[in-house]
Amino acid sequence: MHKVLEVSAADFQRIVLESPLPAGVLFYSNDCPICASVLPLFERMAQIYAGKILFARINRDFNRELSKQYYVKASSTILFFSQGKEFCRRLSGYIRTPELRCTLEFMAAGKCECPKRDKIECDVLILGSGPAGLTAAIYTARAKLYTVVVDDSFVGGQVATTWHVANYPGTNGVIRGIDLVGNMKRQALDFGAQIDDMQEITGIWLDGPLKTLSTTTAEYAARSVIIATGAHPRKLNIEGEETFTGRGVHYCATCDAALYQDAHVMVVGGGDSAVEEAVFLTRYAKKVTVVHRRDTFRASRAAQADLFKNASIEVLFNREVIAIHGDNFVNSVTLQDVLTKQTQQMPIDGIFIYIGMQPMSKLFEGQLALDENGYIVTDDKLRTSREGVFAAGDVRFKEVRQITTAVGDGAVAGKMAGRYLSEIESMQLKGEGKE
Ligand SMILES: Cc1cc2nc3c(=O)[nH]c(=O)nc-3n(C[C@H](O)[C@H](O)[C@H](O)COP(=O)(O)OP(=O)(O)OC[C@H]3O[C@@H](n4cnc5c(N)ncnc54)[C@H](O)[C@@H]3O)c2cc1C
C-alpha cells in the first residue's frame, strides 16, 4: 500500500487497530501550517515503508472524540499502533525526518532497505531551506552557479509553521507564512536551484577545497557551503517536559492555541514571543498565566502594553516552573519563587514555553567556530572560520533574528559565495598561466 489512508473514527477500529501491519497514524487539523508541512513527509514515508507499515491520517476537526480518547491535543501528532495498542513514543509538533524515520525503522524491525546513494557535485551547497537558505539559493542560482539546497525536514523553516506574518515588507500587510516561503521556494526553483528536502544527514566534512555531505540517499560534494540551518525553540529541561510534549506542553501558540478553548494555560518566558503569544492565547483560553523568572519583561513596550491591559492575563514575576505533572495529559505545574525558594502547585490545562531559541549547529561542532550558546561566528561577509563556508540566518551569532534579517543574510552569503568561487577560479587560471 503506497498511500496514506484517510480514516475516520467509524473505521479506526477496522483499519488501524485490526491491521495486521503496525500503523503510523497522523492526527492533523485544517488550517494548521505544521500539518500542511508534515503531510508530505508522512506521504514520503508511506512510499518508503510500503507493505511494512500502514499509514493513516485522521482529521481531528471531524474526529474530536477519538482525538480526545487518545489524548491528542497538538497539531500535528503521530501515534503508532501495533496489535490494537498504542506503542512507541508518539511524535508531536515540529516533527523531524530523523526522529520519524528512526521510529519507523524500529517498527519495521530493521527490514527497511536503504536506497542506493546518488553522487551530486555542485558549486554551492546550502544547508537549510528557511528564508535564509532559499534567498541564498535565489542569488547563487541566478548567478548561474549550480546550487543544491538540502534540508532534513520540510521546505520553509520556522516560517512554514507561522500562521501570519505581518512585518515582512512588501506583502501588503499580512501574508501566510507558508505562502511567503512557498513564493521563495518557487523563485529559487525557477532560477534553477535543486531542492532536496526531507533528507537524513549522516555526516559533513567542511575541510579542504571540496566540502562533502552525506545523507542516507546521496553524497554531495561542493566547492562552497552556506549554512542556514536556523534555530529551534529552547527547552526548559525539567521533569515532565519531554513526557508531556504534545500532551499539554507546547512551543507554538499559533499552532495549538485553538485546542484550549475556555481553558487555563500557562506561558513561560519574558521576551517578545512569550508576551505576544500570551495575548494571542486569550482568543481561546479563559485565563493565561505568564510566568517569568525575572521581575520585568524583556519584551517591547508595545507588546507589554497589550499584555497588561488584557484582563484574562495574570503575570507571576520572579517565579520558575520546576516540574510539569499530569496523568495522560498535563494537569498542573510546580512553581518556585526564585527569591524565597518556596514552591506551590498550580493546576493548569496546558503550558506554552517561550524561553528563546537553540541554534541548529550541533552538526558543525568541532569544525566551525561557535559562540558559547552554539551560534556560528561569522564576519561581516558572513564567512565562518573555514574557507569557503558561510553562515546565514538564525543559526549565526547576531542581534536580531527575523525573516527580514534572514533574507538579508541569505543575499549576502549568496553573493559572497559567488565571489569566493570567482576568486578561486581566477587564482586557478593564473596558476595555470604560470606553468
Ligand atoms: C512561531 C514563530 C513565529 C514567527 N513569526 C515571525 C514574524 O512574524 N516575523 C518575523 O520576521 N519572524 C518571525 N519568526 C522568526 C523567523 O521565522 C526566523 O527568524 C526565520 O525563519 C529564520 O530563518 P532561517 O532561514 O535562518 O532559519 P529557519 O527558518 O529556522 O530554517 C532553517 C531550516 O534549516 C533546516 N535544518 C535544520 N537543521 C538542519 C540540518 N542539520 N541539515 C539540513 N537542514 C537543517 C530546518 O529544517 C529549516 O528548514 C517567527 C518564528 C516562529 C517560530
- What are the pLDDT digits (tens) for 44-85? 889 888 888 999 999 998 999 999 899 888 778 999 888 888
Q: Is 344 exposed, middle or buried (0-12, 13-18, 19+ CB in 10 A)?
A: exposed
Ligand 1 atom with the shortest distance to the CA of 232:
30
Residue nearest to atom 49 of ligand 1 (CA): 157
Distance from Cα 128 to the centre of ligand 1, integer Å: 9
The predicted pLDDT at position 434 comes to 38
Distance from Cα 354 to the centre of ligand 1, integer Å: 15
Ligand 1 atom with the shortest distance to the CA of 410:
25
Find the DSSP H helices in 111-219.
131-142, 177-190
- Range 253-281 average pLDDT: 91
> Which residue type occupies 214?
S
Three-class DSSP labels, 338-374: CCCCCEEEEECCEEEECCCEEECCHHHCCCCCECCCC
- Return d(Cα 65, Cα 72) in angstroms, integer: 10
User: In 201-329, at which residue ranges do the beta strands (DSSP E only) sit?
Assistant: 201-205, 211-215, 218-227, 231-233, 249-250, 264-268, 287-291, 313-316, 319-326
- Range 201-219 average pLDDT: 89
Q: Which tens digit of pLDDT belongs to each residue from 341-384?
A: 999 999 999 999 999 889 999 999 999 999 999 999 999 999 99
The predicted pLDDT at position 432 comes to 59
Q: Is 161 within 8 Å of 131 (Cβ atoms)? A: no
Whole-number mean pLDDT of the chain?
90
Residue nearest to atom 2 of ligand 1 (CA): 162
Reported as a pLDDT band with limits 50, 70 and 90, residue 417 is very high
Q: Residue 355: name the closest of 289, 254, 294, 268 by CA.
A: 268
Distance from Cα 166 to the centre of ligand 1, integer Å: 16
Query: Which of the residue ranges 177-186, 384-393, 422-431 has the most confident prediction, judged by mean pLDDT?
Result: 384-393
Reported as a pLDDT band with limits 50, 70 and 90, residue 433 is very low
What are the angstrom distances between the C-alpha of 92 and each of 27, 145, 354, 390?
Answer: 9, 38, 17, 32
Q: Which tens digit of pLDDT belongs to each residue from 100-132?
A: 877 888 777 644 443 456 788 999 999 999 999
Residue nearest to atom 35 of ligand 1 (CA): 128
Find the DSSP H helices in 59-175.
64-69, 97-107, 131-142
Reported as a pLDDT band with limits 50, 70 and 90, residue 435 is very low
The predicted pLDDT at position 115 comes to 46
Q: Residue 226: name the closest of 135, 124, 84, 328 by CA.
A: 124
Residues tagged active-site: 252, 255-256
Reported as a pLDDT band with limits 50, 70 and 90, residue 41 is confident
Ligand 1 pocket residues where CB is under 6 Å: 127-133, 150-153, 157-159, 161-162, 165, 167, 201, 228-231, 252, 254, 360, 363, 393-394, 401-404, 406
- Return d(Cα 194, Cα 198) in angstroms, integer: 13
Decide if pLDDT at 153 tops 50: yes
Decide if pLDDT at 316 tops 70: yes
Contacts of 283 (CB under 8 A, 6+ apart): 257
Distance from Cα 100 to the centre of ligand 1, integer Å: 20
- Return d(Cα 421, Cα 71) in angstroms, integer: 53
Q: Which tens digit of pLDDT belongs to each residue from 11-20?
A: 999 999 999 9
The predicted pLDDT at position 2 comes to 64
- Return d(Cα 80, Cα 27) in angstroms, integer: 11
The predicted pLDDT at position 91 comes to 83
Extract the C-alpha cell encoding 375: 551560534
Residue nearest to atom 27 of ligand 1 (CA): 230
Residue nearest to atom 7 of ligand 1 (CA): 165
- Return d(Cα 410, Cα 417) in angstroms, integer: 10
DSSP at 239: B
Residue nearest to atom 1 of ligand 1 (CA): 162
Distance from Cα 430 to the centre of ligand 1, integer Å: 41
The predicted pLDDT at position 48 comes to 85
Distance from Cα 396 to the centre of ligand 1, integer Å: 12
- Return d(Cα 396, Cα 140) in angstroms, integer: 20
The predicted pLDDT at position 110 comes to 47
Cis omega before residue 224 (within 30°)? no
- Range 28-56 average pLDDT: 86
Q: Pick the more confident residue, 201 or 379.
A: 379
